[in-house]
Amino acid sequence: MKQKQQTEYEKMVLGKLFNPADKSFFFTLARAEWLQRKLNKAPLWAQGRKERIFKKLVGSVDGNPYNIFTPFKVVCGKNIHIGKNFFANWNLCLQDYAEIHIGDNVFIGPNVSIVTIQHPINADERKPRKVPGSLISGSRGNFEKALPVHIGNNVLIYTNVTICPGVTIGDNSIIGAGSVVTKDIPANVLACGVPCKVVREITDEDRIME
């Protein structure tokens, strides 16, 4: 029996080279765009409505998010999986070509991007080429890879942070403002910088509540 050929979307999920302009992405991308438009138009006071739209937009969320400030941007939506008590401030961008897993009690500040897609390093490989089935005019397209991102429980990510493909951030850690996270960050640490590096462990001496 002839084996069914994988779609470009299926290749993407499996971490293989894929063409993100392929027609197999159309419904997923169109649905995500429609839902996030509804989410971003909902007023701040309509939190219940925002939560209902948010649950349809993402792949899974455990319970109701704590709060979602808009605008909020995703690519596919259904590759995002979120735990309890999720808080997202303005301008969170989740580029979920691969899966993004976010644990419980995660707080994310303004202007944060979580990126999963890897563009080719070789300049020649970045040039658009003739690709059958491409949505781009003239059937032009390119080939890329995507790597999943994992964020543990009780993580705090400050403003203007970029998290790169394939990164894991451990439980209870804090990512300082303006950081670019290119490698895994262990649990229970304060990390910051470009590239992001561990500054120190978080201890009981950091408590501010008596």
Question: What is the 8-class DSSP label of residue 21?
Answer: T
* Residues carrying an active site annotation: 119
Whether 172 and 122 have beta carbons less than 8 Å apart is answered as no
Residue carrying structure tokens 């059937």 = 139
Report d(CA 152, CA 172) in Å as an integer: 7
Containing H/E element for 54? helix 47-57
Whether 27 and 40 have beta carbons less than 8 Å apart is answered as no
Residue carrying structure tokens 């009981």 = 204
Q: Phi first, then psi: what are they for 180, rounded to 5°?
A: -120, 110
Beta bridge partners of 67: 87
Which tokens hold the place of 142? 């390119």
Whether 158 and 177 have beta carbons less than 8 Å apart is answered as yes
The SS3 call for residue 81 is: strand
